[in-house]
A and B are shown apart, each in its own frame.
Chain A
């Protein structure tokens, strides 16, 4: 069927050429030439018409198969399933773009207001790398991180994903770019490339899937907002009815609490275990325990001391972060369309063990510090499209064994969030926070934010 029009097209294209050759040989017979042209055109059109008629006939047959029965309502019609089902749908349109990956674009931006200067933002007692992202972000109207996502199957055994983050300062970064196996079987999947680590609950989720505009203080202070790395991740799902997933990661350790250094070995190792299940139709839960271990070499830290002044120090050593996470969801009969509730909490404990030095030339001193923090949040969808959330969090900065930079100030923060979701592709969020991450008066923060999703349908991770 396909060959017919293309053959006739070739004929139609070739016919004038032949005629032209003939005309060159016999310049006198112009009428004959025209005649030939017309007849070849007619042949071509007739062939095309025939092809179209055939296609129409087939389409009619296909359409008639299921409707034939409805024409005679009273009588049982044995013919209605006797006819073969119409050909399986072929959604691929063909052409050069038929294999284009699924493309999605997250657009985000908004307005941020804070009562204290975000430039002086610090989490008291927690040394962050210089230039680390912490706090509410830039004041005023601003674009937020926009994200371009591409994903597709590579071949029958692999799939690839890339997430490119576009920052408001016109810089671009690779948030994720990994390949993942799809055909290992036995519950195994292996990921390679740059990815968000699977430790904890919130870490593996993209910013636009968070229920609050910012990440919890504990994540900002102990994981550099969100821990992503270049490396390998192996996950294994147990063959049991109870969900049990074990994960192991090996990475470069390129970001805080690690630091990028040219080393042959791995700079980051992580292990995680998650389990979960249902309680009746209306409840489901997931809980997990993870350990992230990262190496740092000459990591520049901004260390605020008790008086509030900041000094730059260099940390070399090992950091271990334990994460305990839990999430519980409720929806009447499991139908979250109207109302639902989600309770989520995580506890992080970080121990840094190594040496700390500064630029003054004095010898580096041993440095050992255990810190911890937690957050607990609840998000209630009280009617379709509207959700209300409350988050409370607290950090324990711990006391370094050198006795210096000790402070008994405990950073804490409370946030209240209201969001409106006109559709599953758009969200407008209003968030208030009372942020006591640094001593002094509370930083009162306000977000008005939009998050929109274009293109390929994103999947909702649990």
Chain B
């Protein structure tokens, strides 16, 4: 996806860019001058917290990261609100999931930003899902199937191996957007990758007892997690992706669990825990709140904490007698 050659226009220094903006601001509204920040760092606009955290890992003090959403918000349902438009306007690099996760708001945000650098197809526009293998790619595209995504399930961040793939691509992209610091990005990437591989080894070992465990999901948000840890999804509380669980569907799930029992039911931090709790009360299946992204739970303070916390929570529920 990334263009092989860097466009001439992207090689101008930030210094001249700020000068041009200053000239514009002076022409239009002199009052704005005070607010114009004299920044040297590469400005990264991340759609979701996990990509914000990754950009921070790979960019360190070379980048200034703004995250559009929090772990308590549904990434499908965000509005192109003024604060986001303003931040997209000033971004040098937009890092999002892609695979249509942000289709309801990101295209509008980019249109309204008036920022040529971050439009789709430019090097300032990075879609993480482009570099990983997608699961749940629908064979048939029809909205009667609920909120399906043509490119496959977009919740790729629940598998650390995907994070590793995205890190490699994002590291390269940072170097492309900010070539003056390419060697530093490469250094940080190799450092992160090393630590990440060690962590994956640790998580693999810790999560080994979970292999084959039957689970229930509230939303089809964890397919990559299941693929990684070998968990078996036996039921989903949402009748169709993005459709609120109904009483009759929950009764159906309850009935099906009699023949195929599950050890736990998972919901993401941003989701309403009620359907999972209902199942917990009626079928005795413990509820597990998954951080889903950085900041979703107390323990998920950064990317490493995200998976430490996820595995701790799964083990706590899964190893119960």
Contacts and interface: CB of A to CB of B under 8 A. Distances in A.
A91 B130 contact: no
B1 interface: yes
A136 to B, nearest CB: 29
A277 B36 contact: no
B90 interface: yes
B207 interface: yes
Which of A73, A243, A461 is the most central at the interface, judged by chain B CB atoms within 10 Å of its CB? A73
B228 A187 contact: no
A6 to B, nearest CB: 26
A120 interface: no
A81 B164 contact: yes
Interface residues of A, number: 71
B70 interface: yes
A457 B205 CA distance: 42
Contacts of B116: 182-185
A72 B24 CA distance: 58
B72 to A, nearest CB: 4
A186 B72 contact: no
B230 A237 contact: no
B131 A76 contact: no
- Max chain A CB contacts within 10 Å: which of B81, B147, B205? B81
Contacts of A65: 133
Contacts of A242: 35, 86
B204 to A, nearest CB: 5
Interface stretch (A38-46, A310-318, A328-336, A399-407): A328-336
B284 interface: no
A63 B133 CA distance: 7
Interface of B: 1, 20-21, 24-25, 28-29, 32, 35-37, 69-70, 72-74, 77, 79-83, 85-87, 89-90, 99-100, 103-105, 107-108, 111-117, 119, 121, 129-134, 143, 146-147, 150-151, 159, 161-162, 164-165, 168-169, 193, 197-198, 200-202, 204-205, 207-208, 211, 227-230, 242-244, 270, 272
Interface of A: 62-63, 65-67, 69-70, 72-78, 80-81, 85-86, 88-89, 91, 156, 159, 180, 182-189, 235-246, 274-278, 281, 284-286, 329, 333-338, 384-385, 423-425, 457-462
For the complex of A and B, the 6 pairs showing the least CB-CB separation, nearest first, are A76-B201, A276-B82, A243-B82, A459-B108, A185-B116, A187-B114
Given A80-B200, A246-B29, 4 more contacts: A80-B164, A81-B197, A238-B29, A286-B82
6 contacts: A85-B168, A86-B132, A180-B111, A277-B86, A337-B74, A423-B147
